[in-house]
Amino acid sequence: MKPKLTIWIVLLPLLLAACGELPLPEEETGLPVFTFEGTAGTDAISLTAGEEGNFMTTFQVEEEGVFVFSGELGPASCETCGPALGIALLDDQPRSPGSTIPESQAPGEGSYDYFLRDDVQEVARVNFQLDDDGGPMPEQMFWDLGDGNLAQAVAVTHTYLDTSLSQVTVCLTTRHQGGCETSVCNVVNLKDTACQAAFQYTVNPANQFVTFQDQSKGKQPFRYEWSFGDGYGATLGNPGYYYGQGGSFEACLRVEDANGCMSEICREISPDLSTCTAGFTYRVQRIELAGPGQSGRVKLDWRDSDGVRWQSATVKQPADAYFEILEASRYEDNREGLPTWKIRFRLRATVVNDTGETKVIEGEGVFALGMGLE
């Protein structure tokens, strides 16, 4: 008589520095067995959670603003060991970070295309943040993001989908209590992100002395060019400056790093705090988004018995490739409290390793995917 199978479901980190022993969870019995039976090239695959040290691990991550629901069946004690099969299913719509997914929007029965990394376009995603200068918060904020888009918020994240844009001029206008209104504009480089000018400042209104603190990013050493907005400037990293009068001034910092990357940022400041000010910081990221023809949502990650990694996302799939979910249902949370979604599936796909070799993997099984369900 075959003994009762024991299955564990745990949340493992996506990236481990090296192979290492992991503490095993307490045993749970009587649960469905997660399996995959098939072939990879001429090699047979037979994986079962709870047998031969294999675990069904589940996780959810966010890649480039899209949730990815994943599960891996294989050795839990070593991330680079095999055999192991990982399945990742991309969400079909953008969601706010940390949001939950209605069960009605979870992937259900049906066929799903494979994601192809070649069918992507690189664009700029920029996080804009209103500066906190220690004064009262403005009542209203108006962002002109330089590509025809507008926003009103303390922090704005915007993706520039026009790949022909190398830079944009972004302006922030703030309106304060009492009717004070001010604005500042900065040229944002969308393609050369190796360096980024940034600074903070402190004001002593009693003598109108302002201390500037460089917070630029890039390869040291920097070359600095400060403009204090009244015709004077400095070339120090963290200068201090006495303004001869109060009011509002546009202070700017231009930096050039050791690799020749150049960046500039400006802020409106008031050395005697007599008027409202405006300023913002920003961070540019180059990200990959699915191209206009990209509809694929499935990624396969196969590690053979030698630990060699084979992936589906870096090779174009032939016409006979498929991924089909035959059944889908809610499963219990994993050991870290992440809800899981149980699928029964069958698949066929071409996978490729780092040296360009390809093989066909096919089979069927039952997996769990980590998914932040409501």
Position 288 scores a pLDDT of 65
**Closest to 358 in 3D by CA, of 283, 288, 300:** 300
Note the pLDDT tens digit of each residue in 151-189. Answer: 988 888 888 888 888 899 999 999 988 888 888 899 998
pLDDT per position as a tens digit, 227-259: 999 999 999 999 999 998 888 899 999 999 999
pLDDT of residue 44: 95
Encode the chain (374 residues) as per-residue pLDDT tens digits. Answer: 333 333 333 333 333 333 333 333 333 444 568 999 999 999 999 999 988 889 999 999 887 678 899 999 998 777 778 899 999 999 888 777 778 889 999 999 999 999 887 656 678 888 898 887 666 788 889 999 999 999 988 888 888 888 888 899 999 999 988 888 888 899 998 987 788 898 989 889 889 999 999 989 888 999 999 999 999 999 999 999 999 888 889 999 999 999 988 899 998 888 988 888 888 988 888 876 655 555 688 999 999 999 899 999 888 889 999 999 999 999 989 888 999 999 999 999 999 998 889 999 999 999 999 998 98
Query: What is the reported pTM?
Result: 0.50
Rounded distance, CA 101 to CA 329, Å?
14
What is the distance between the alpha carbons of residues 200 and 220, in angstroms, rounded to a whole number? 19
103: helix, strand or coil: helix
Q: What does the pLDDT read at residue 52?
A: 86
User: What is the reported pLDDT for 5?
Assistant: 32
For residue 325, the model assigns a pLDDT of 97
pLDDT at 312: 93
pLDDT at 295: 65
* DSSP label of 104: G
Tell me if 229 sits within 8 A of 249, measured CB to CB. Answer: yes
Beta bridge partners of 233: 227
Contacts of 141 (CB under 8 A, 6+ apart): 130, 152, 153, 154, 172, 173, 174, 175
